[in-house]
Amino acid sequence: MINTSEFGVKERFGKFSGFIPAGLNLVLWPCEEVVGRVSLRIQQLDCVLETKTKDNVFVQINISVQYQVEQEKIREAFYELQNRTATMKAYIADTVRAGICELTLDQSFESKDKLAGEVKTHLSEVMSSYGLSIVKSLVTDIVPDLKVRNAMNEINASKRIKEAAYQRAEGEKIIKVKAAEANMESMYLSGVGVAKQRAAIMDGLKDSINAFSESNKGVDKQSVMDLLILNQYFDTLQEMGSNPNMKVVFLSAENQPVRSGLLEANAVSNV
């Protein structure tokens, strides 16, 4: 009884006599005998290899090779190889070690597909004569030594920390620059306001002096100016007195030109 997707290998008196298909078959025993079965299903061979990269890093490489027996070459697949998996593992190891030794660790990770293609090409050339067809070759994992992995993680973490610090510094720089620009703009606008205020005050004083001089022909402009300064002085005293947070100390002195000027202006206004 032969299962589906299998062929039985029949021998007569120890010599190969043919194959028997799936299903129920009759064998003239003891003259004939079914000495084995060959499956046509796709099979998978998993290999774990340890090798060294170009930069002297030991890595463990996991490779999976999917293969299938060719129906036209069942006899070669059954009789040519005594240990099929051992032979395939030897060729896989030879191909992988030859390829990895020419690559650094980083290049090994980047060249997984290329390495798998080389394994498939080499195995297909060799195993075709033994009746085996290589369907697919996969490099499933590349595992460096634990110390190397920890070092790589530390390097990556250091780069991330450096980048974060740089971005944080750039953000603080932008904040300070914007604050300085805002302060500069504020001071500029404040200066423009003060200048306009003083210009308005001067224009007001000028108009007041001209108007007072025209209405009072006997008073000159200097006397009017002194009177305006006296009024501003009293307004200033009133403003200081009404502010509870302001503290003013008046000091006596021999030379008080402001006081003398105010007194003269007061005398002129009483004339």
Q: The pTM is what?
A: 0.52
Q: Where are the domains of the chain?
A: 1-39, 42-144, 218-271
Q: Is the peptide bond before 257 cis (omega within 30 degrees of 0)?
A: no
Q: Work out the widest C-alpha separation in the chain, in whole angstroms.
A: 160
Give the model's pLDDT for residue 261. 61
Tell me how far apart the alpha carbons of residues 8 and 74 are, in angstroms, rounded to a whole number. Answer: 10
Residue 197 pairs in a beta bridge with: none
Amino acid at 256: Q
Name the strand (E) or helix (H) holding 183.
helix 146-215
Give the model's pLDDT for residue 224. 63
> Which class for 100: exposed (0-12), middle (13-18), buried (19 or more C-beta within 10 A)?
buried
Query: For the domain with range 42-144, which CATH number is right: 3.40.50.620, 1.20.120.80, 3.40.630.10, 3.30.479.30?
Result: 3.30.479.30
| pLDDT one-digit tens code per residue, 21-64 | 777 877 778 887 887 788 888 888 888 888 888 878 788 888 88
Vertex 196 angle, CA 193 and 201, to 5°: 125
Give the model's pLDDT for residue 12. 80
Residue 251's pLDDT band (boundaries 50, 70, 90)?
Answer: low
Tell me how far apart the alpha carbons of residues 116 and 172 are, in angstroms, rounded to a whole number. Answer: 49
Tell me how far apart the alpha carbons of residues 205 and 83 are, in angstroms, rounded to a whole number. Answer: 116
Quote the strand ranges of 131-231, DSSP E: 132-144
Give the model's pLDDT for residue 253. 54
Give the model's pLDDT for residue 265. 60
State which of 133-137, 151-155, 212-216, 236-240 shows the largest mean pLDDT: 133-137
DSSP single-letter state for residue 4: T
Q: Which residue has the higher pLDDT, 243 or 136?
A: 136
Give the model's pLDDT for residue 246. 73
Tell me how far apart the alpha carbons of residues 37 and 7 are, in angstroms, rounded to a whole number. Answer: 6
Give the model's pLDDT for residue 233. 74
Name the strand (E) or helix (H) holding 60.
strand 58-69
**Is the pLDDT score of 270 beyond 60?**
no
| pLDDT one-digit tens code per residue, 78-97 | 777 788 888 888 888 888 88
Name, in order, each residue with C-beta under 8 angstroms of 69's C-beta and a sequence gap of 6 or more. Answer: 38, 39, 40, 77, 131, 132, 133
Tell me how far apart the alpha carbons of residues 172 and 37 are, in angstroms, rounded to a whole number. Answer: 75
Overall residue count recorded for the chain in this entry: 271
CB 39 within 8 A of CB 62: no
